[in-house]
Amino acid sequence: MPDLLLEFFSEEIPARMQAKAADDLKKMVTDRLVAAGLVYEGAKAFATPRRLALTVQGVPVRQPDLKEERKGPKVGAPEQAVAGFLRAAGLASIDQAKVQADKKGDFYVAISEKAGKPAIDVLAEMIPDIARGFPWPKSMRWGEQSAKPGSLSWVRPLHSIIATFGPETEEPEIVKFDIGGIAAGNETRGHRFLSPGAIKVKRFDDYVASLEKAKVVLDPARRMDIIRTDAKNLAFAQGFELVEDEGLLAEVAGLVEWPVVLMGSFDKAFLDIPGEVIRATIRTNQKCFVLRDPQTAKLVNKFILVSNIEASDGGKAIVAGNERVIRARLSDAKFFYDTDLKTKLEDRLPKFDGIVFHEKLGTQAARIARITALAKQLAPLVKADPKKAERAAQLCKADLLTEVVGEFPELQGLMGKYYAEAQGEDEAVAHASEDHYKPQGPKDLVPSDPVSIAVALADKIDTLTGFWRIDEKPTGSKDPYALRRAALGVIRLVVDNSLRLHLLKIAGVNADLLSFFADRLKVQLREQGARHDLVDAVFALEGQDDLLMIVRRVEALGKFLETGEGKSLLAGVKRASNILGIEEKKDKRSFAGAPDAALLKLPEEQALASAVTAAKQEASAAVAKEDFAAAMSAIAKLRPTVDAFFDKVKVNDDDKAVRENRLKLLNEIREATRAVADFSKIEG
């Protein structure tokens, strides 16, 4: 079966757009192939700075033939209806139609057959459509064609298109089409400087090999591997260690077609700047990697750069050029850092009076005041020193107004820690500046120092309560203020540090916001393998705002329901709840209250009443001690008496008083299990 090779060769595609563009090209082409009935065997897309390429293997030679049936009017229908059917079906006379019978009688049916097109013709139609509708984030028009209607818009000026189609055993054909005056062919270009001139290709294998000879590595994953391996080896040879950076690696791989790894250096005096500032400066401005001493883990005055050419001087001029730029950038960074150190963090705070946090939530100064008050309130609950928590909260946002953070926003918090340490703040206060933003994601570390915990909780809870107050809640996939992340942050801070916090007693946390925490907790527990319905079952109990206890209840409930006793008891409780629900609806009343012992006639109901009373007492005592496993064990003792009750006792007795008493007994079963969870919310 034939294979397709497609390449769009252009001026440099921004690195940030390449991966998505490759995915889009693959999806758009393969979706159209499948829609046309051309089911392929495999496809893979690639991107370099100057090209998007796609190979699709095992494409059928032609579309399958299509047979279409169009049902017409009944035999004997009015002439006008028959004439309309003939026109719609493209038939000259009714003799060309067939007659088919169904339950309602005999009907005319027009059967038409359409021969499938050759796949190469389908490709010639679809590829120009795909190119013209390609979803670049930004695109441009160029040259004399740009003013003409229907001219091509592409991310950068497009120079050529490869489109070949054919089996491995034969000379492939060129798919014939023209886009914006560029005709598809079988020629591309190699490296701009190392291998100028045209390259003719046939199919994917020789395309890759020809590009390699022309100093182009087509696969971005392979370019990343080359850069990573060569950088590590070069660093190791000098006694250093590469500070790995996957984001930068992907970006650099998108800037070069023929990666050549080189090492440069900078003045040791710059090592007085915090390492993160050095790294941010070199990374942001020159797309270079930093190195460290493997023994001390501190940065050294070396960096790794990736060139796109093999220079005749071994790269000396390229390295020197990068060193000049990095020297200038580090000089700026050192100036910013030294300037920042001259102003104390608290002296920056008055400027926040003029900075709006949110039009409905006031200034940054007002927000800092709220965080400070809340951190002081939370401090005793998380075993933090209230004065240190208050001080840390006052200073935690101050570095937002520094020169370094203005230049590198990603260093906010971290620079606050450095500046706080430099001005002699308590270590816990300094670290809270960095740690109060954490955790920012599921893999981020959770602060463990009590002062950091207090400020981190205050920051996140203030964000949540504030936006809840002005009704700016997440909707669907939209969460512009990262409130889901803030809620997950609170959950991880509480659970990972085994904190006992009653959220409803904290300023601004209401039942609606507590429900939002429940939803986030479900996500968190589900990712850890827990069942979301167990979270529902625990949250269904009134006043469940202690996240740590909720998690522990869920854990105990999950373990219990994995046992045979748990599954059997769940079935019995659900049966009791279902009967109660039906009868409560029928009688339009509840059956709360203790059953009358005098009306318990049968041994099975007497035994159940006795067992329920004992289980409630034992389970309640265990819950009071926060021993949820013991509470589940107490409730599990109900299983045999519940089974016997349903086996021998008729709930809806003819005697109304007995019926009501037995329904009250069922309600007691339900109430007994509520010591741990609402079993009616549990699936299964």
Helices (H), 470-563: 483-496, 511-527, 532-539, 547-561
Instruction: Tell me which amino acid residue 370 is.
Output: R
* In contact, 256 and 307? CB cutoff 8 Å: yes
Q: What is the band of 148 on the pLDDT scale with cuts at 50, 70, 90? A: low
H/E run at residue 183: strand 182-185
**DSSP letters along 214-243, please?**
TT----HHHHHHHHHHHHHHHHHHTT-EE-
Most confident region among 286-300, 545-559, 573-587, 596-610 by mean pLDDT: 286-300
Which residue's entry shows tokens 């820690």?
A: 417
Numbered ranges of CATH 1.10.3210 in the chain:
347-557
Q: How many residues are recorded in the chain?
A: 684
Q: What is the band of 543 on the pLDDT scale with cuts at 50, 70, 90? A: confident
Q: What is the band of 10 on the pLDDT scale with cuts at 50, 70, 90? A: very high
Beta strand 105-114 with 289-292: parallel, antiparallel or unpaired? unpaired
- Percentage of residues of the chain with pLDDT beyond 70: 99
**DSSP letters along 297-328, please?**
--EEEEEEEEESS--TTTTHHHHHHHHHHHHH
Dist CA 173 CA 185 (whole Å): 9
Q: What is the CATH topology of the domain spanning 563-681? A: Isoleucyl-tRNA Synthetase; Domain 1 (1.10.730)
Contacts of 13 (CB under 8 A, 6+ apart): 21, 47, 49, 50, 51, 52, 155, 156, 254
Residue 71 pLDDT > 90: no
85-94, 263-272, 356-365: least confident range: 85-94
Residue 400 pLDDT > 90: yes
* In contact, 491 and 535? CB cutoff 8 Å: no
Model pTM?
A: 0.82
- 262: helix, strand or coil: strand
Numbered ranges of CATH 1.10.730 in the chain:
563-681
**Per-residue pLDDT tens over the stretch 226-281:** 999 999 999 999 999 999 999 999 999 999 999 999 999 999 999 999 999 999 99
Q: What is the band of 681 on the pLDDT scale with cuts at 50, 70, 90? A: confident
Of the options 1.10.3470, 1.10.3210, 3.30.2030, 1.10.10, the CATH number for the domain spanning 347-557 = 1.10.3210
* In contact, 49 and 13? CB cutoff 8 Å: yes
Dist CA 85 CA 173 (whole Å): 43
Dist CA 554 CA 232 (whole Å): 46
Dist CA 135 CA 27 (whole Å): 12
**Per-residue pLDDT tens over the stretch 571-602:** 888 888 889 989 999 999 999 999 999 999 89
**What's the whole-number average pLDDT of the chain?**
93
What pLDDT is attached to residue 150? 63
Contacts of 176 (CB under 8 A, 6+ apart): 124, 183, 184
Choose between 336 and 65: higher pLDDT: 336
Dist CA 539 CA 544 (whole Å): 6
